[in-house]
Amino acid sequence: SLYHTCCSVLNRLSAVEGMMSYLEMDTTALNIVSSEPSTPTLTNGDPLSKLWAMARLGSPLCTIFNVLSPETPLHIDADPTHSTLNTCKKSIYHFLVGCRNQLAFTEEDVFTISDLYQDDTNGFVKVVNTISKLLLLLEERGIISAHSSHRNSDPNAPKDTRDKVILELIETERKYVQDMELLQNYMRELQSQNIVSSDCVHYLFGNLNSLVDFQRRFLFQLEEIVEKSPEEQRVGYLFTQMEDAFAVYEPYCANYFSAQYLVVQEAPKLQKLADILNPIYELPSILIKPIQRICKYPLLLGQLLKSTSKDWAYYQETEQALEAIRRVADKVNETQRQHENVQAVEELKRRVCDLEDLAIETYGHLLLQDKMIVSINESDRELHCFLFEKTLLMCKYIKESKNILTKGTTLSIKKKRRGSLQSKCTIYASRILGVHNKSTPGLWSLLVEYKEREVEQFSLRFRNEEQLKKWEATFLKIKVTHKANVPNTHLLNTAHSPIGSGGNQQQWDDLPQLPISSRTPYHNLHIVRPTTSTPRLGESHAQQHSPIDRTMPSSPGSVKVKLSYHDGIYVIVVPQEASFLELMERVERKIRLVANLKPKEMLRLKYQDEDGDHITINSDEDVQMAFESRGIHNTVNLFVS
């Protein structure tokens, strides 16, 4: 890890002539030129901060370079702590030039001045690598003794359960950082070789650089903590201090699902770097690791708390850390869920076949969505439910028609299949009166009561208790938010079967269909036929008392069409071979007369197919499909909105 690398470098530097004076400087003196990394630390003068600040002085780097006896030694300031920032950068510049020209270092072997001075471990890793390469040259030339590591003979082997938890925490953290660095190198190769566009790299990896920088700092301090005796290990304090910094996970995790789709889409191009990470199985497994890691921390801290004696001085810090990391995980999950919901709404707009009848933009943010069994009047049906801030939308999956396609019906059926969802019911969230948990052993369900003309209800059946609790909590939150007045009308009919008809035992597809637009609230689920209507031309005074004209005969080769519009039913007769334009002309002439519509108001026609679905009529083929649904009385029912 970076911690042990820095410790090793500092240890080896102590053997370099002229370096001891820099190593013995305290952190305050070393940081006159520039500040330490911003990540909270538990102690002053940790190895990373010490090495970083010392390198920024410039003179220590020149000292190491001169020990190699180059042809042109570098100038060294007598007291670098009194040097200005520009003087230090000048020394670093000459050091980098000397490494390239006199030591034949490549561009990959050296860092840049910005790598050293920016507050980012991604750049500092390059600095450490350059210094390590210089030390290796000193060892090869026999100027200093070769370094040997004794980490394998660990005197602090785990002695109890707590030690094992600490060991698991630190070892999995090291492996995790290594994986993230591998992913980072993969990203850099994609960029340097221009395998995919810069936008594609951005959407694939998000804020990976910031995430790796944070995780290195976190691991560094964790390494420093676990080297202390168990009772002095303030692991909990580290997590609580880092709680706000863990926010770096939120954008990465929110972007993950977009990234995994992009990996599949760009797999042919990504195969060019399959020797680093195979895009089929290795790349997806590493991309998901940050999500897995943030979910793992609460489990590890829970085990640590359980195995720590309550008498220890820092026990409460571990308790606070567990609460803090749970808050972090909740925030990450919430951010990820919100991002997924935004995508789900866009997917809903693409899949729903009657989008023009919905006003999704007015529903508020999507809170939850899932497939579940919805029960009304002992009739069960699987629907896809979308719970928005202001609306509950229920959609059904459209079944493919089993009818044999003919030349005249192909276009109409293709239109029906354009989307895979069809809205069945829309309920205002403000009309929800109560949500009751009706679960029994092995069966998880909620009974939802809402206000129509009377109080109605339906049940939602869930897969497990966790799903139920999530929906129950969200429903209750909505109920509190919309605790204002509840008018009688709350259902938005989308020209489909609404649920909750008071006392009506009809099945889902047999519920009454109201000929109104999806944005018009109605007061009753039953069609109410008034005793009077607007007078129409060609009707007697007696006929004006009923909106249903039952006396109009249909001539041979013609079809009797009943038009359901608002609270009335009107009749016209059209030829069996009527075109779409001809039908619309007659419908408009009839409806505009009785409804006093303005010229700019457009009418829409729908018919009910054999599945009970309402299909919009937009073409001659649609008209013929609608006419095929007429019964033995040669009558077609159309719905006007």
Which of 165-174, 209-218, 396-405 is least confident?
Answer: 396-405
Q: Above 90 in pLDDT, residue 325?
A: yes
Q: Is the Cβ–Cβ distance between 450 and 431 less than 8 Å?
A: yes
Residue 423's pLDDT is what?
A: 83
Q: What is the 3-state secondary structure (H, E, C) of 98-131?
A: HHHHHCCCCHHHCCCHHHHHCCCHHHHHHHHHHH
Q: Is 0.85 topped by the overall pTM?
A: no
Residue 24's pLDDT is what?
A: 79
Q: Above 70 in pLDDT, residue 301?
A: yes
Looking at per-residue confidence, does 234 or 24 come out higher? 234
Residue 529's pLDDT is what?
A: 34
Mean pLDDT of the region 133-160: 71
3-state secondary structure of 366: strand
Residue 379's pLDDT is what?
A: 82
Select from 39, 6, 11 the least CA-distant residue to 23.
11
pLDDT tens figures, 148-188? 554 444 545 677 899 999 999 999 999 999 999 999 999 99
The per-residue pLDDT of the chain, averaged, comes to 78
Residue 168's pLDDT is what?
A: 92
Q: Above 50 in pLDDT, residue 332?
A: yes
Mean pLDDT of the region 62-71: 89
For residue 84, what pLDDT band results from cuts at 50, 70 and 90? Answer: confident
Q: Is the Cβ–Cβ distance between 111 and 93 less than 8 Å?
A: no
How far is residue 30's CA from residue 179's CA, in Å, rounded to a whole number? 33
Domains of the chain: 2-140 (1.10.418.10), 161-342 (1.20.900.10), 355-510 (2.30.29.30), 543-640 (3.10.20.90)
Q: What does 504-530 look like in DSSP terms, one character per residue?
A: ----GGGS----S-TT-B-S-SSPP--
Residue 510's pLDDT is what?
A: 39
Mean pLDDT of the region 280-288: 90
Residue 303's pLDDT is what?
A: 93
Which residue bears the tokens 């939150």?
477
Looking at per-residue confidence, does 47 or 366 come out higher? 366
For residue 30, what pLDDT band results from cuts at 50, 70 and 90? Answer: low
Residue 608's pLDDT is what?
A: 80
Which residue bears the tokens 């042109």?
72
H helix runs in 307-463, sequence order: 315-351, 410-416
For residue 374, what pLDDT band results from cuts at 50, 70 and 90? Answer: very high
pLDDT tens figures, 195-206? 999 889 998 999
Mean pLDDT of the region 60-85: 82
Residue 556's pLDDT is what?
A: 58
Instruction: Report residue 295 as tokens.
Output: 């979910």
Looking at per-residue confidence, does 40 or 400 come out higher? 400
Q: What are the backbone dihedrals phi and psi of residue 184, each rounded to the nearest 5 degrees, phi first?
A: -65, -45
Q: How many CB atoms lie within 10 A of CB 9?
A: 20
Residue 598's pLDDT is what?
A: 66
How far is residue 622's CA from residue 611's CA, in Å, rounded to a whole number? 16
Residue 175's pLDDT is what?
A: 93
Which of 153-157, 431-435, 521-525, 553-557 is least confident?
Answer: 521-525
Select from 319, 368, 553, 315 the least CA-distant residue to 474.
368
Q: Is the Cβ–Cβ distance between 387 and 341 less than 8 Å?
A: no
Q: Above 60 in pLDDT, residue 548?
A: no
Residue 240's pLDDT is what?
A: 94
Residue 499's pLDDT is what?
A: 40
Mean pLDDT of the region 496-520: 36
How far is residue 455's CA from residue 479's CA, in Å, rounded to a whole number? 15
Residue 147's pLDDT is what?
A: 61
Looking at per-residue confidence, does 340 or 371 come out higher? 371
